[in-house]
Amino acid sequence: MPIPDIYMKGELHDEKRDGRHLPPAPVAIDYSTSPDNFDSSNETAAEQIAANLALLYHHMVSGATKPELFMGCRLRPGEDGACSGTGTIEAAPHNTVHMWVGNIEMPSTRTWGLSTPPRATVFYAHHANLDRLWVLWRQLNGYDKSQREFDDPQWLDSHFYFYDENADLVRVKVRDAIDMDRLRYAYEEVDLPWLDARPRPSVPPNVARSLLRAKENDDNLLRMATNKGPWTLEETVRVQVARPKSTIKAREEEEVLVVEGISVENEMYAKFDVYINLVDETMASPRSREFAGCFVKMKGADMATKGRRRNIKFGISEILEDLEADEEESIWVSLVPRGGTGNVTRVDGIRIDYMP
């Protein structure tokens, strides 16, 4: 899982990369820009690969059972159609790999491939790989070539203008870019070890349940009267969140954890991990079943998203089953700041929804 060898040679090599992350170092798709209680830079290559596979399982399988969870909220034309709800793989591996490959010591975002992408050729492969993950997600969820994640004409007919190879301005609709046959390419079929990387609880569920109930009674730091903030994530925030009763009771329905109203001071870089029924923070990592997913925001914003509060959603039905919490009336949710960014990150609230 290191940077491909081709990007270490000739014109495709960029000397401004982070030297600590050059081959043979495996990519860290759970990357934080500075050390934490869980610091991936201290992991062996095998441990880092295991963490990568586990995170992909969370963000591709159990946490992304519905299109909105995987792709993010549905954009529509006009100001009323704007939304700021990122999908699972937008946070990681998309944002985290940008940060991992780039050099955080350099003031320019060029090294992250944000300001001048043509000069950061490794990110062509990075984005192609994300497109490949999209194809795999469709296959895993039973979509055939004629099916669309969002059957919404406003979304499908939204368009963008690009200059083609002849410098002619062409218009491309969303519906054109999601038809692999029309794009005339396909991805090589390879083994997918992350499909078998379903994590296990870091603490046996019955033990965790007893410890959490004891803390609920005795530890004022753990108890919060409401699941409404706002909270600044200067330290881990632990919230007891009620599980509303579903009115549908359908097997296809997904229980969804929503972290809402996320704001980041001055549009800085920010990252936090989300855990369910976490007992021991020192054991917290993507390799534990308690991990629900992560929020990652790269530095800067465009005019459409500047100052806008963000939401992020994770499917948690399978997690609750594995933690033996699917019959509980409430769960404990922990927001764990990463990369020293908690002091610039605020969250308005946490709730549980059901998504058909």
pLDDT score recorded for residue 302:
55
Q: Is the pLDDT of residue 226 over 80?
A: no
pLDDT score recorded for residue 83:
76
Per-residue pLDDT tens digits for 228-280: 678 889 999 999 899 988 766 666 789 999 999 999 888 788 899 999 999 98
Q: Full-prediction pTM beyond 0.95?
A: no
pLDDT score recorded for residue 11:
64
Stretch among 30-39, 138-147, 192-201 having the lowest mean pLDDT: 30-39
Q: Is the pLDDT of residue 311 over 80?
A: yes
Question: Does domain 5-355 fall into CATH 1.10.1280?
Answer: yes
243's tokens: 């599980």
225's tokens: 């009267």
Q: Which residue has the higher pLDDT, 57 or 301?
A: 57
CB burial of residue 131 (10 Å; 0-12, 13-18, 19+): middle
DSSP 298-344: -S---TTTTT--EEEEEE-HHHHHHTT-TT-SEEEEEEEEETT-GGG
Taking the domains of the chain in order of start, what are their residue ranges? 5-355
Q: How confident is the model at residue 204 (pLDDT cuts 50, 70, 90)?
A: very high
Q: Regarding beta strands 310-315 and 85-86, do their DSSP bridges make them parallel or antiparallel, or are they unpaired?
A: parallel
CA pair distance 207, 124, nearest whole angstrom: 46
Handedness of CA 5, 10, 13, 19 (dihedral sign): positive
* Average pLDDT over every residue of 119-129: 83
The distance in angstroms from the start CA to the end CA of the chain is: 36
Give the list of residues 6+ apart from residue 350 with CB closer than 8 angstroms, or none.
227, 239, 241, 257, 258, 259, 260, 333, 335
Angle CA(289)–CA(294)–CA(300) in degrees, nearest 5? 170
